[in-house]
Amino acid sequence: MRKLTSEQELMLATVRQFVDKEVMPVASAMEHRNEYPHALANEMQRMGLFGLNVPEDYGGADVDYTTFAMIFEELSRGWLGLAGIIGTHSVLCDVLIRYGTEEQKRKFLPGLAAGERRGGICLSEPNAGTDLQAISTVATRKGGDYLINGSKMWVTNGRFGNTFLLLARMEPRVEPPHKGMGAFVIEKGAPGLTVSRDIDKLGYKSVETCELHFQDFPVPAENLIGGVEGEGFKQVMTGLEAERINVAARGLGIARAAFDEAIRYAQRRTTFGKPIAEHQTIQIKLADMATRIEASRLLIYSAAEKKDRGERCDLEAGMAKLFATETAAEVAFEAMRILGGNGYSKDFPVERYYRDAPLVVIGGGTNELQRLIIARNLLKKYKVES
């Protein structure tokens, strides 16, 4: 990995200090209360974290994807829910940067970069998650607006956010479905959008995950990303490539936090007259955990550096997301086993890591899907000519 600049080092050090001093002391208590971290989100706004991937011309930090991944790793080390607040926000930014018209960029990106606009993505539906071509939400042109009808699920920032990326089928319907979709930037305010409920989750608490309903919700035609119908599916899928890097980094952050708790506890807890870290069984667990964490880090940086070069990295991002998030789940469970009964207690943060880890395995495209993406790309890369 290339050496970070002094500016990148300073940004990472600032985030690390924020996590250590302000996030970790309060994360578990707030998470157990399912309390939204308004003050911490506002501090992230002051730090410029909502504009991480936004170009400087629009008020953002325009960091490279390696630094981007490192920042998500640090935030998730402190609290996965906190990282989630800017995770889907950054996907909206990425799609706008790549495909938005200049007018759309000027209208939305400065507010998103400043954190005045809080973003999210409206993609999944009750009957369409991994298979986005199965969505049924429809956008119908009427004069200068599109009217949106349908429902969206799993919308992070759905209650406290105000600006979203929405994928919808266009009328009349086109086959195959991916050729008949549009991606829109939608804003709260007009009638016809209802935030119906916060989904009660196993983990990933405090950050709200909502169900949204649309009934003749008007979206100005100028908010169709790129101004072109039929391109929405491709635009969204490109944005999800970047999301997989940030979800992989979130998995790495969880794994690091769980490992840190486990190795610290193993040196303090004594059984049979010596610290449990001196028992071979515990040492083997720690060695495997640390090795998987380091391998995850290198996979993430490899994908990030390829994206920084402007190259397709769906294979590398898929590998990083798969391995790093499975590592999060495995390391969190092994940490719980090392702590024994204390690992199962809310007095220690390991139980929180254990509940949070499944989210990154499922979110950002399930790991079953990642395996299919990886396999398809491998077959292209190593195609045997007949």
SS (H, E, C) 274-300: EEHHHCHHHHHHHHHHHHHHHHHHHHH
- Residue 182 has a pLDDT of 96
- Which of 114, 142, 176 is a domain's end point? 114
Residue 64 lies in a domain: yes
Residues 45 and 158 in one domain: no
Residue 1 lies in a domain: no
Q: Over the stretch 23-67, which tens digit does the pLDDT of each residue have?
A: 999 999 999 999 999 999 999 999 999 999 999 999 999 999 999
Residues 108 and 133 in one domain: no
Residue 386 lies in a domain: no
The pTM for the full model equals 0.95
Q: Calculate mean pLDDT across residues 185-203.
A: 96
Residue 18 lies in a domain: yes
Report yes or no: 252 and 297 within 8 Å, Cβ to Cβ: yes
Residues 281 and 336 in one domain: yes
Give the closest residue to 204 by CA, choosing from 334, 93, 81.
Answer: 81
Residues 298 and 341 in one domain: yes
Q: Over the stretch 225-244, which tens digit does the pLDDT of each residue have?
A: 999 999 999 999 888 888 99
Please classify residue 234 by burial: count the beta carbons closer than 10 Å to its beta carbon, then call 0-12 exposed, 13-18 middle and 19+ buried.
middle
**Any idea how long the chain is?**
386
Residues 260 and 166 in one domain: no
Residues 246 and 169 in one domain: no
- Domain count within the chain: 3
Residue 306 lies in a domain: yes
- 86 pLDDT more than 80: yes
Output the average pLDDT for the chain. Answer: 95
What are the residue numbers of the active site?
A: 243
Residues 296 and 223 in one domain: no
Q: Over the stretch 98-120, which tens digit does the pLDDT of each residue have?
A: 999 999 999 999 999 999 999 99
pLDDT band at 173 (very low <50, low <70, confident <90, very high): confident
Q: Over the stretch 136-145, which tens digit does the pLDDT of each residue have?
A: 999 999 999 9
Range of the domain at 109: 6-114
Residues 51 and 86 in one domain: yes
Residues 149 and 195 in one domain: yes
Residues 66 and 92 in one domain: yes
Residues 337 and 304 in one domain: yes
